[in-house]
Amino acid sequence: MHICHVNLASGFSGGERQTLTLIQQQAQMGYQLTAVVNPKSPLVHELRAIPQCQIVLCPHYTRRHGRSITATCDLVHVHEGRAIYWALLQHLLHRVSYIVTRRIDNPLKKKWLSQLAYRKASALVGLSSEIIHQLEKRHPDAKLVKIPSSPVTYPVSQDKVEQIKAHFRGKFLVIHAANMYAHKGFDVTIEAARLLADTSPDIQFCLLGDGKERASLEAQAQGLTNVHFMGKQTNMGDWFSAADLLVHPSYTEGLGSVILEAMAAGLPVIGARAGGIPDIIEDSISGYLITPGDSASLAARTLKISKDDVILSQIKENSAARIKQFGISECAKKYEVLYKKVKS
C-alpha cells in the first residue's frame, strides 16, 4: 500500500510527532510512503531517517501539485489544518481520495472552503469522542471513525534524570508540560500550588513550556516558592523519569498526547474532565479527573497521591494496563482497515 501523508505545520509539536510515529510504524509494516511537509519543519529531518519515505517539500498548500506526487498513491492522509486544502486541490485536480485526522476539539470553521474540504474527504478521523462529536455536528453524513493517537517514546539520559532529581531532592515533583496557551490550564496548576504552598512545601511544581501566556502566568505565580518556570523542554523522557506526577488540567483538549506519553513512561496523571482526556483516564482507576478550573480538587488529588504509596502504586499498575490500548501497532492496524475500506 502507498500512502501520502500531508503535514504542512512549520513547527514540531504533538501532531507532528504523531505523524512521524505513524509513518515509522507503517514503514516497518512494508508500506510505500510519501510525505508532503513544510520545509521549515523539523519533521523533515526526522523523516530523512526513513528510507521508505519519499519527502516532498511544500511551503504552502497551493504549491507542489504535479500529478507525479500522488500518481501511485492509494490515498492521501491529512494530519493538520493547512494540509486539508492541499489534499482538496489534489482531489479536484487528480481525483485522489483523502482522509482527514482531526486532533483538536474546537468547533469546525464555517468558512466555505473548510466545509468543502471536509465534505470531499472519504473519511474523517477524530482522536477522541469529543472530536467525533464536533465533526458530527458539522458533517453528520460523513464517514466518522475514532482512532486515538499513540504515545511517543522519548530517550532517557540517566545523567539528566539525576540532575533533575538532585535539584529537587527530597521533594515530590509535579510537572505540567504544554505550550502556554490559556486553554492548557496553567493558571489552575498555579492556584493549586498556592493552596499547597504553606501546608505542603515538599510538593514542587515545574511548568515546562513557553508561549504567549507565560508573562501573565509568571505574574500570577509571583511570590510562590513552589512553582518553577523551566521553559520549553526537548528532553521530556528525562522529566517523565524524574517526576512523581503529571498534571494536565486543560479547559479543552483534543486528546492529550502528553498524558499518553507520561502514562507510557510510568508516570501517574491528574487530568481535567475536558475534551478527549476522559477517553484516556479512568477516574480513580488509571488516574484522576477533576472538573475544569477546579484548583482545589487538583490540590487535594495531588496531596493524596503524594502521601499514599498504595494509591500511587495502584494507579501506576492500572495506567500501565490502560496504555496498552493506545499502542502504535493498534493505531496503525485501525488505519489500515480504514485505508482498505476507502480504497475499495
**Amino acid letter for position 89:** L
Specify whether 19 is located in the same domain as 123. Answer: yes
Distance CA 97, CA 330 (A): 23
Query: In this structure, are residues 289 and 253 in contact, taking their beta carbons and an 8 Å threshold?
Result: no
pLDDT the model gives residue 342? 96
Q: What is the pLDDT of residues 241-258, one digit of tens each?
A: 999 999 999 999 999 999
* Together in a domain, 311 and 335: no
One domain for residues 138 and 237: no
Examine the domain organization and report whether 16 and 128 are in the same domain. yes
pTM of the model: 0.87
* Same domain flag for 13 and 135: yes
Pair 174, 308 in one domain:
yes
168 and 119, same domain (yes or no): no
**Percent of the chain whose pLDDT exceeds 90:** 95
Same domain flag for 71 and 113? yes
Average of pLDDT values for 46-62? 97
pLDDT at 278: 96
Identify the DSSP state of 68. Answer: G
Q: Are residues 298 and 337 both part of a single domain?
A: no
The strand pairing partners of 101, in sequence order, are 125
Is 162 in the same domain as 133? no
**Set of cell numbers at residue 21:** 510515529
pLDDT at 73 over 90: yes
State whether 211 and 336 are in the same domain.
no
pLDDT in tens, 42-52: 999 999 999 99
Residue 267, helix vs strand vs coil: coil
43 and 135 share a domain? yes
Domain span at residue 229?
A: 158-326
Q: Which CATH number do you get for residue 37? A: 3.40.50.2000
Report the number of distinct structural domains present in the chain.
2
pLDDT at 171 over 90: yes
| The three grid cell numbers given for residue 113, joined into one nine-digit string | 472552503
Give the pLDDT score at 344.
87
For 175-196, write each residue's pLDDT tens digit: 999 999 999 999 999 999 999 9
